[in-house]
Structure 1
């Protein structure tokens, strides 16, 4: 029987998440250099020559100081960046309210409101207020992405913006968007 080949062990960068050999092609090579000098000196020997050897001492001091501060209860900790496979930085989810008008049966419309819960608005209370204000039926339903949204009967897309900003002061008008022809358009 043939022997099984041994698994290849890959060293991943602690900064960008890419394999150490590919850090130079990643988005943050300058930030990766200190980590590479300390943990993978054989991968980039030119980095050690560039720094003249002094960088290794600086990096080790820096790494120790960050591990000490992380171990203690430090209040000034930088936010951890969420990374996707391949080292790409995941964008933070923006707080935005999306209003979309859906036409059904030629003349009937439903206006959907998504994202109000991101501003601390309770959707059941919001649907009641919308139903009373516009004298229509309004309900909280699960949308196609399994997130809850408010469906309001009728075409009230443009009137609803003023009502949202007046009723809930936490929702700025700059964070309200319409979906028109498949494109996101700011309401302001």
Structure 2
């Protein structure tokens, strides 16, 4: 007869709550390291070596700092200053991320002049064009609707069909700072 397999015991990190073998992919691996060294040393043997070498480095740094402060005299100032580098889990250095320059936003202004509630209009626009739409304050502190994406030429027909009070002659595009009729 074959033996019944026993369930696997998975240690969960006391810091981040993830299984211990996934801590390195978690939100803050640096905070998890001391817990992992104490409770799951078999999963990360490199951490134990790293912590031992860091302790040795820390002692040598302390010795160097004592010798530097002794040699600088009574002022105690040192010419060596290092700027701290922000590191992400996995040792990656944080870089500034820029968004894609091809993204566009279509802005709709003046619908409230025709009795249209902007919150309802933004919901309908978001559903129709399957995109994000929200009511925001514009540069002149008036409410406007920002729709993600370039939907300028499809929107004229949608506005005139959805809200018949808005005449097509009242819809304009602003292109290169010039007011162009949509008709």
TM bin, normalised by shorter chain, reads: 0.3 to 0.5
TM-score (norm. length: structure 1): 0.44
More strand by share: 1
TM-score (norm. length: structure 2): 0.46
Bigger Rg, which one: 2
